[in-house]
Structure 1
Amino acid sequence: MLDTAPAVHARPAPAPGAGAERMAWLDGLRAVAVLLVVYAHLSRYLFRGVRGFTGEWLHAGTAGVMLFFLVSGYIIPASLERHGSIRSFWVSRIARLLPLYLVVTVLALCLAAFGLVPMDRDLVAHPATAALAHLTMLPHLLGVPLVTPVFWTLTYEMAFYLLVSALFALRLHRGGGAVAVLLAAVSVAAVPLAPALLPATPVTVAVALGLAAGLPAVASGRRWAVAVGALLLAAIAVTLLAANQDPAHVWDGLLIVAVMFVGTTIHRAQHGQTGWWRAGAVAAAVGAALIITWYAQLDALGAPTATYRTRAIVTLLVFGGLFALGLLARDGRTPRPLAWLGRISYSVYLVHFVLLQLLSPVLTPLGDRLPVLAEVPVALGYLGLLLGISWLTHRFVEVPGQRLGRRGARWMTARWGSDSAATAR
């Protein structure tokens, strides 16, 4: 999902000049992605007439999250391979994502306790299962309702990390393009997948135990343990993706992960590790699979109209085209406001929906009564508040978490030695 700042990826800060601008283009893409997602959710309250028109031709939210997934697929595996340490990778991932994730979770639960935002009753009925599922960051694939709906993308990010770690530990990490094509082929042949075949509580406990065993194993530096842990992590990810998709993603759940591996393949082509013809073929295969499955979903819903079919193509072209434009323009100068927004985009993404729910008693009647032009200052007020809160959470939650992760990784290496030899080719 939704990774944001360059520090996320546990690499040194880029030097001034071309390197800094190279990272800025990724931040620019994240900024565009989060703006698309915020528009998709804000337009449920404001600009509903505009949404009625744009929604006929573009799935803004889908385009935004798919762009996020492409960016993550492009940079995350490359960071792991560059540093060669699964241990450091996971420490940095957890330190980067978990602090804000927990803060937003606690905030949403507190607001729900006072009746200020809605909360799924199953979370209250099964608090232990809900807590454990959210700690794994895989609740959307464990049949557990989400504390806040935007967490679903983090579940697919986590599944991707598990697969990437397993491939790296087994020295198969150059095969991301093949994985993408395989997922695309299975998706077209099997959709819709049967949703949530596994009971929530037993599978949550089993997955938590599997992660508790598999992650230390792949980070141990002992070759036999790394191999066993990698197989366990891969088994967890594949089982959940194949047998426990949420009903909302039985059509495209496998393709979400395939899109991330497309980003990985493009990175390899850019750095001469594979041919551009191969990267193009992988991207074309996954893109075609998306259109086929989206069309099949429209048929199943009884809505195979020309407009909706066109919308599927436009959505694909928007997020794919934006990524391509960013890649082509990566040596140019990204506008500073866009780069800044990209750096705090993880905070914006996690905070914006809870803030919308909290403000819905105000936004809903305003959206009902105000003309479109009068809604503009209301939207700007919401965005100003959102960006202010997001800057604070980035500055005082995300950044300290990143620093703690870097210190923790250095301490582990100093105490136990590097684990890179176990995965070196």
Structure 2
Amino acid sequence: MTTPGEDQQTKSNPPTRTVRPNLPGPRGGSPGAGAPVVPALQRRPRLPALDGLRLICALAVAGYHYGVSWRLDGIHPPAHFVPHAGHVLIYGFLGVEVFFLISGFVICMSGWGRSPRDFLASRAGRLYPAFWACVLLTAAVVTVLPVTLGVPVSGQPSVTDVAVNLTMLPDLLNVPMVDTVYWTLWVELRFYLFFACLTWTGLTYRRTATFCTAWLVAAVVVPAHSQSLLTDIVMPQWAPYFIAGVTMYLMHRHRPTAWLCALVVACWLLSLQSVHVRVLDVHPGFPVPTWPAPVIITIAYVVLIAIALGATDRLTWRWLTTAGALTYPFYLLHQRIGYSIIRNVHAHTGWPAAPLILGAVVLLLGVSWLVHRFVERPLMPALGSLLRGRRARAA
């Protein structure tokens, strides 16, 4: 998931973050309506705090899956195994919302100054190599260590299922997902297509802000006046997070304006309404208060605004970069493989949930590093260059 599949940002110091030289620098001057496009392969600024926030979100989602959304023995509710942590871990599913918020910011940052072809090539290069590796690893593990009772996902995927999953479109093609966490990727892909259309027009402050405004209005109006197809395109449940992230990047690149602030506030209000409904739909077997969810989402908005306005520019710890690199493969690997490991080890040893959960997290972070080091790093630039074609390679 930005989701967890955001760009690997490149590091630069705050004074040199401006990438369009005839526009005013970040947090100063008036937003420009147009400017020459910078070369597509120019290095992008890096915000290490975003990397750390993404890993926190991935660990939160894993905590929800491991500690709340399944049963260790298929009989007792999750709270029986994590009686004190379960009431906190239940809110970990909100990491998905924060992923989408971060994705809007990072995709706008990585797409600025790129042509549609370069943008889509960079997205494919970023998402697919690690995804292919994780689909195959997950299919192999759940075939060798199947889990078939008391979890949201079960059974062994067929060869056809695996092949279709490798396209990243099983949801669209109505094929069972190898791991149900892939549903967020279909949401991300629709956002990428939206943004690719925007890059085709040429990214400027005014065009991007207008795009965000129009999408937000559609997210409010469409659910009440349209059929499911248009609703699927507009994504009213998730649109406020992407729109808010894009808007915050405009604040970061230029400066806060009344227009941008109004957009963020409107997105925040819609997010609070949406997340309230999300909590009501969660039924873990124990009471779940709704009030922590809007608090968590509000904190996420505040943190990302702080990052956008430069409050975290001094955070340059190298481990944050590593954290960001692990997030995407860890998110893709953690659920079904984690279920299989925890459940099978418990069945053979009787070990309690807490050390099994911790061990699964540590193990899968290690596997995620291997996927990043030996799959993403060599294949990501190669696939991106291949999709850009000769013109991009010559550049």
Whether the 8 Å contact between 1:25 and 1:326 is mirrored in structure 2 is yes
Q: Name the amino acid aligned to 2:97.
A: M
Query: 1:245 matched to which residue of 2?
Result: none
Q: How far off is 1:170 after superposition?
A: 3.8
Query: 1:241 matched to which residue of 2?
Result: 233
Is 1:263 matched up with 2:241? Answer: no
Q: How far off is 1:164 after superposition?
A: 0.6
Query: 1:248 matched to which residue of 2?
Result: none
Whether the 8 Å contact between 2:124 and 2:384 is mirrored in structure 1 is no
Query: 2:311 matched to which residue of 1?
Result: 329
Q: How far off is 1:24 after superposition?
A: 1.2
Query: 2:211 matched to which residue of 1?
Result: 176
Q: Name the amino acid aligned to 1:2.
A: T
Change (3 A) 1:33 1:276: farther
Query: 2:30 matched to which residue of 1?
Result: none
Alpha-carbon distance in structure 1 between the residues aligned to 2:251 and 2:13: 25
Query: 1:116 matched to which residue of 2?
Result: 146
What is the SS of the residue equivalent to 1:139? coil
| 1:127 equivalent among 137, 141, 160 | 160
Change (3 A) 1:365 1:180: farther
Q: How far off is 1:289 after superposition?
A: 1.9
Q: How far off is 1:67 after superposition?
A: 1.7
Query: 1:88 matched to which residue of 2?
Result: 118
Alpha-carbon distance in structure 2 between the residues aligned to 1:368 and 1:167: 54
What is the SS of the residue equivalent to 1:154? helix
TM-score under structure 1 normalisation? 0.69
Whether the 8 Å contact between 1:269 and 1:275 is mirrored in structure 2 is yes
Alpha-carbon distance in structure 1 between the residues aligned to 2:282 and 2:322: 40
Change (3 A) 1:77 1:239: same
Gaps of 5+ in 1: 198-237, 243-252, 419-425
Name the structure with the higher helix share: 1
Q: Percent identity?
A: 26
Is 1:346 matched up with 2:328? Answer: yes
Whether the 8 Å contact between 2:64 and 2:92 is mirrored in structure 1 is yes
Change (3 A) 1:343 1:298: closer
Query: 2:131 matched to which residue of 1?
Result: 101
Q: How far off is 1:298 after superposition?
A: 6.9
Q: How far off is 1:239 after superposition?
A: 6.7
| 1:312 equivalent among 293, 302, 305 | 293
Q: Deviations over 1:4-29 (max 9, x none)?
A: 688546xxx33478769952122122
Query: 1:61 matched to which residue of 2?
Result: 93
Query: 1:71 matched to which residue of 2?
Result: 102
Query: 1:392 matched to which residue of 2?
Result: 370
Whether the 8 Å contact between 2:145 and 2:340 is mirrored in structure 1 is no
Alpha-carbon distance in structure 1 between the residues aligned to 2:253 and 2:183: 31
Change (3 A) 1:283 1:50: farther
Q: Name the amino acid aligned to 2:48.
A: A
| 1:30 equivalent among 34, 45, 54 | 54
Alpha-carbon distance in structure 2 between the residues aligned to 1:239 and 1:307: 29
Alpha-carbon distance in structure 2 between the residues aligned to 1:65 and 1:397: 24
Alpha-carbon distance in structure 1 between the residues aligned to 2:349 and 2:238: 33
Change (3 A) 1:262 1:53: same
Query: 2:168 matched to which residue of 1?
Result: 137
Change (3 A) 1:41 1:71: same
Q: Size of the alignment, in residue pairs?
A: 348
Q: Name the amino acid aligned to 1:50.
A: H
Q: Deviations over 1:280-322 (max 9, x none)?
A: 22222222223334445677899xxx96331332232243233
Query: 2:271 matched to which residue of 1?
Result: 290
- In the TM superposition, what are the counterparts of 1:343-382 in structure 2 within 5 Å? 343-362=325-344, 364=346, 370=352, 375-376=354-355, 378-382=356-360
Query: 2:390 matched to which residue of 1?
Result: 412
Query: 1:250 matched to which residue of 2?
Result: none
Q: Give the CA RMSD over aligned residues.
A: 3.9
Alpha-carbon distance in structure 2 between the residues aligned to 1:336 and 1:123: 38
